[in-house]
Structure 1
Amino acid sequence: MSDFTLPPPDTDAAAHSARLSEAIRAEIASSDGVIAFSRFMELALYAPGLGYYSAGASKFGEAGDFVTAPELGPIFAACVGESVAPVLQQIGPDAMFLELGGGTGAFAEVMLKRLLELDALPDRYAILEPSAQLKQRQRERLQQRLTPPLFELVEWLDAPLPHDWQGVLFANEVIDALPTPRFAMRGGDVHEEHVVLEGEGFARALRPADAFLGNAVRHIERRLERALPDGYRSEVLPQLPYWIQAVSGGLKRGAMLFVDYGYPRAEYYLPERNDGTLRAFYRHRMHGEPLLWPGLQDLTASVDFTALAEAGVAAGFDFAGYCNQASFLLGNGLAGVLQRIERITDETERLRRTQEVKQLTLPSGMGERFQVMGFQKDVEFGAAFLAGDLSFRL
């Protein structure tokens, strides 16, 4: 999609993007005229005070650039609560729940209320949130909508837990926003996509990949049992195992649950998917210009769930299950939700909840595109992944 099809930013937004662009240009200039695309993505999303996730613009819902499952309504978080309640109950009074990236606080609100109903409240509910603006938004929402005893369980973190802990780590649409290297095959060799200056803007350029990235791509080829063809471009996250170890920290007993959009490796690197999965989201429009308007648009790449499975096991966890979002919700309380929806007397509310279920579960919505993977250590998820197991595809 060309940029002229996108609504232009207003004056303040354009000025904000110009400030971030200037900071990126300065870094490129001081780095021999080139930076890795992954570094550009990191700055575009997380530069302090300027990046897409660290600045104050609205991201979620109709006024933002995209809608996540928790923002649709309470059903997603309630079903996740159903899935992790047995884990928290097995751990007991010292259990902790750690949410990576809290959005508007909608997930935490419903999760805490549902865990209270299930007699599975953790001792602490921590939110690891990089955005100061979102932290404030979450705090205000939860203080308004939770009873004081529930709100007192919540705390905000600036970094992963520095000490040993027990409980559940949960991340919805987090891995897709990790700054990802982009690679390209040229003459049988692995090259890395970089960003250079071009006029007043930016352009992409290729440089030979270092050993870290090159080995990651060769690992993909070995697992696929075929070489990637000349000209093939895509993404890979060689840092994913280290990221998993970092965010889980000293999780000695408990579970990790990841929800995101993506594919198993064999589907991620299909021959026809020869330009990867990187895309930009701007005001509910998906397009292919990641260098446009830094700081004003989300940049994401799909998750290689085979790589996630490898990373979780390498971090010392047992693989617990893998399925699409529709199957996961159906296996974790959605049937009861549907029964409650049928009993709603307010026709408008009943229609809203019915539409929410459809968006979460239908193939045309999030049902198949989003997938769920779990890991466990000295606990059992129980029935969380019994519906629609897809681990054979990994």
Structure 2
Amino acid sequence: MNEPSVTSGPAATLGERIAAEIATAGGWLPFDRFMQMALYAPGGGYYARDARQFGVLAKDGSDFVTAPELSPLFARALAAQIAESLAATGTDEVWEFGAGSGALAAGLIDALDALGQPLARYTIVDVSGALRARQQARLAAHGERVRWASQLPDALRGVVVGNEVLDAMPVKLLARRAGAWHERGVVLESNRPPALDGQAPAAIENEATRFAWHDRPTDLRPPLEVDGAHDYVTEIHPQARAFIATVAGLLQRGGAAAAYFIDYGFPEAEYYHPQRDAGTLVCHRAHRVDDDPLSDVGDKDITTHVNFTDVALAAQDAGLDVLGYTSQSRFLLNCGIAPLMEAADLPARATAMKLLAEHEMGELFKVIGFATPGHPPALGFAAGDRSHRL
């Protein structure tokens, strides 16, 4: 396979840098590495750009909305659970991974103050320097209580929060074709080998570079056998599992801690259902969804749903207890969002309903909680716990 001449220096575009990475890798790049660069490459990756990602409407220049941006009642309800866990663990620190615009951090700090559970420290871990700058501007009023960590400590105490962080972790793509499993990767169109089925997939143009899919035979498999002989595309999540295992290990060493992750996803029996044959990989741009991660690289989000069974097993293997698993709607209701909505004006109530409605965020988004042994039953899972489905 001939290697093209591509630019890889600091002035190169993101497309050129990915092309250089493909060439260095021998002409084929696994999708998880492509996704890592498309989202996080310094200076050009989607989350590393100086551009807006989070907002309510496309006209404000945003690509999608998250729950903390949508309604301040999300943070106020979540704060009730965090306050309970802070009291249970005897700690006064929250760690947030992937803090986005800083909206959740601002809301939680204020809500915990109002609940009489003030924090000594709110620590943010975010790989994006561009987002960190925006967070620092938004949270400046909270002074030295907020800090940013460039590396993890040897142990974690307190409460960990992650809202829509797991879905942004790079995944491996697997494709079952003619009964055999392959790993799907990215090649340059100019060097694409013959397609395995004799039909060339569409090439995608990105600036001066054209990317295309190419599958290679692999020993990798989904965690469940997928019934049927039909062609099937899906994802596996080694990076998310490794992240949870790392955080869980640090919490164990800390001695008293809890963690809550909110995201869209399914237990693995639903994730790898035979009818989910196109997987869950999608892109977000200007509040529209597409399934084409090889185009407009760096200008749109790339995301997949979360396998919550995988997440739960990783935490348990590291010694944590699963506090519960339920829908976002049920979790927020358990945490008292209904009286908060009753006290709000009509527009605020209508907006907050999107957090609960089944056809909006209420059912697709789930919440899973973990804790070191000895944590009491968690408020957010008091009714509607679905841990048995994991």
Partner of 2:368: 373
Q: Is the 8 A contact 1:17 1:294 kept in 2?
A: no
Asked whether 1:126 is paired with 2:89, we answer no
- Counterpart of 1:41 (choices 35, 43, 48) is 35
Structure 2 runs not aligned, ≥5 long: 1-9, 191-208
Whole-Å separation in 2 of the counterparts to 1:262 and 1:198: 33
Structure 1 runs not aligned, ≥5 long: 1-15, 342-349
Q: Residue 305 of structure 1 aligns to which amino acid in structure 2? A: F
Q: Is the 8 A contact 2:248 2:319 kept in 1?
A: no
Whole-Å separation in 2 of the counterparts to 1:324 and 1:278: 21
Asked whether 1:171 is paired with 2:165, we answer no
Asked whether 1:281 is paired with 2:284, we answer yes
Asked whether 1:358 is paired with 2:353, we answer yes
Whole-Å separation in 1 of the counterparts to 2:130 and 2:35: 20
1:375 alignment partner, SS class: strand
Q: Residue 57 of structure 1 aligns to which amino acid in structure 2? A: A
Partner of 1:382: 378
- CA shift, 1:248, in A, is 4.5
Q: Residue 23 of structure 1 aligns to which amino acid in structure 2? A: R
Partner of 1:185: 176
Percent identity for Structure 1 against Structure 2? 41
For residues 89-117 of structure 1, the C-alpha deviation after alignment (integer angstroms, 9 at most, x for no partner) is: 1233x432100111111111110111112
2:188 alignment partner, SS class: strand
Q: Residue 96 of structure 1 aligns to which amino acid in structure 2? A: E
Whole-Å separation in 1 of the counterparts to 2:245 and 2:355: 30
Partner of 1:207: 216
Q: Is the 8 A contact 2:113 2:119 kept in 1?
A: no
- Counterpart of 1:65 (choices 63, 66, 73) is 63
For residues 39-68 of structure 1, the C-alpha deviation after alignment (integer angstroms, 9 at most, x for no partner) is: 110000011121111121110003210000
Whole-Å separation in 2 of the counterparts to 1:152 and 1:130: 20
Whole-Å separation in 2 of the counterparts to 1:289 and 1:20: 17
Asked whether 1:340 is paired with 2:343, we answer yes
- CA shift, 1:387, in A, is 2.2
Q: Residue 257 of structure 2 aligns to which amino acid in structure 1? A: G
Asked whether 1:245 is paired with 2:242, we answer no
- CA shift, 1:73, in A, is 2.3
Q: Judging changes above 3 Å, is the alpha-carbon distance between structure 1 residues 239 and 138 closer, same or farther for their aligned structure 2 residues? A: closer
Whole-Å separation in 2 of the counterparts to 1:182 and 1:333: 39
- CA shift, 1:18, in A, is 7.7
For residues 99-150 of structure 1, the C-alpha deviation after alignment (integer angstroms, 9 at most, x for no partner) is: 0111111111110111112222232110011121211111111124x4xxxx
For residues 256-311 of structure 1, the C-alpha deviation after alignment (integer angstroms, 9 at most, x for no partner) is: 10100011111111222101000011111100111111110000000111111111
Q: Is the 8 A contact 2:28 2:186 kept in 1?
A: yes
- CA shift, 1:230, in A, is 4.2
Whole-Å separation in 1 of the counterparts to 2:249 and 2:314: 14
Which deviates more from structure 2 when the two are superposed, residues 199-208 or residues 288-297? 199-208
Q: Residue 150 of structure 2 aligns to which amino acid in structure 1? A: D
- CA shift, 1:72, in A, is 1.0
Which deviates more from structure 2 when the two are superposed, residues 120-129 or residues 255-264? 120-129
Whole-Å separation in 2 of the counterparts to 1:137 and 1:102: 10
Whole-Å separation in 1 of the counterparts to 2:286 and 2:186: 24
Q: Residue 53 of structure 1 aligns to which amino acid in structure 2? A: Y
Partner of 1:5: none
Partner of 2:85: 87
Q: Residue 217 of structure 2 aligns to which amino acid in structure 1? A: P
The number of equivalent residue pairs is 355
- CA shift, 1:392, in A, is 2.6
- Counterpart of 1:330 (choices 323, 328, 333) is 333
- Counterpart of 1:98 (choices 88, 95, 100) is 95
Whole-Å separation in 2 of the counterparts to 1:117 and 1:26: 52
For residues 330-355 of structure 1, the C-alpha deviation after alignment (integer angstroms, 9 at most, x for no partner) is: 000112202312xxxxxxxx233112
Q: Residue 89 of structure 1 aligns to which amino acid in structure 2? A: A
1:245 alignment partner, SS class: helix
1:164 alignment partner, SS class: coil
Whole-Å separation in 2 of the counterparts to 1:291 and 1:334: 40
Whole-Å separation in 1 of the counterparts to 2:40 and 2:248: 20
Q: Residue 167 of structure 1 aligns to which amino acid in structure 2? A: G
Q: Residue 240 of structure 1 aligns to which amino acid in structure 2? A: A
Partner of 1:153: 145
Whole-Å separation in 2 of the counterparts to 1:58 and 1:240: 25
- Counterpart of 1:267 (choices 267, 270, 292) is 270
- With structure 1 as the length reference, what TM-score do the two structures score? 0.86
Q: Is the 8 A contact 1:182 1:192 kept in 2?
A: yes
Q: Is the 8 A contact 2:265 2:306 kept in 1?
A: yes
For residues 226-268 of structure 1, the C-alpha deviation after alignment (integer angstroms, 9 at most, x for no partner) is: 5453421100113433211224452132111010001111111
Q: Residue 360 of structure 2 aligns to which amino acid in structure 1? A: G
Q: Residue 94 of structure 2 aligns to which amino acid in structure 1? A: F
Q: Judging changes above 3 Å, is the alpha-carbon distance between structure 1 residues 261 and 383 closer, same or farther for their aligned structure 2 residues? A: same
Whole-Å separation in 1 of the counterparts to 2:20 and 2:322: 44
Q: Is the 8 A contact 1:17 1:296 kept in 2?
A: no
